[in-house]
Amino acid sequence: MRVEFVGLPGAGKTHACRETHTALRLRDVDARLDCVEDWRPHTRGVARDYLALTGRGRRRVRVSTAAAWLGRRTMHARDSGAARGSSACAYLVAVDAHVRRLEPAAVWLHDQATVQALWSIAMRCRTDAADAGALHTRMAWPDVVVEIRAPLPTIAGRLATRGKLPRSLHLEADDTVEEALERGDTAMAELQALAARRSVTWLAAEDPADVADMLLALPPDAQG
């Protein structure tokens, strides 16, 4: 079973992912942790291939089948004003390639992966998540998505403390923090609807301590 933690920046995805990993291991579950900070440096080659394919890199290179398919889809999306999402799309290609290489385990826990990358595309392109998708039909979806929720004022305060507000929320000149957070919340709801259409289990939690019990309580058919 592959579990991806999603949520607005500052909601506590990584903390919840690590806490859930610890709780599952204490119950003798073969749970493995896949934190983005550990593997992101290794995605640059895939992202470079994607940018070269779409004509935004310095040279054209041979790319993987997944990167080529996603790149072609995104080139069509660029005609509808999605060019601003190129770096986010490159990141999605890199994440997709990464999760497909993971060895089997009872449970893989990602603090963010393909679904969160789709959220970033929707935010950058200022379009709905399904349109930003055009990419979602071939990407590696998780079996379970766990959305970590927190009050919007709390999230804004955390991001401001870390100095990450503009980058994390893809703020532009005409944006306020409140508007960006609301837009991000809407994009997350659209992703939940998209996941439902693909029969992906979507859980929501405010307390990270609840997640392990929620996962263990899932019926077998909901675990992929």
Parse the chain into domains and list their residue ranges.
2-38+106-222
* CATH homologous superfamily, domain 2-38+106-222: P-loop containing nucleotide triphosphate hydrolases (3.40.50.300)
Can you tell me the distance from the alpha carbon of 95 to that of 105, in angstroms, rounded to the nearest whole number? Answer: 18
Digit-coded pLDDT (tens) for 1-56? 999 999 988 889 999 999 999 999 999 999 999 887 776 555 555 555 555 555 54
- How far lies 74's CA from each of 18, 70, 85, 186, in Å? 33, 6, 9, 22
State the DSSP H helix or E strand holding residue 168, giving kind and residue range, or none if neither.
Answer: helix 165-169
Digit-coded pLDDT (tens) for 79-111? 344 444 456 667 777 788 788 888 888 899 999
Half-sphere exposure of 14 (CA within 13 A, CB side): 6
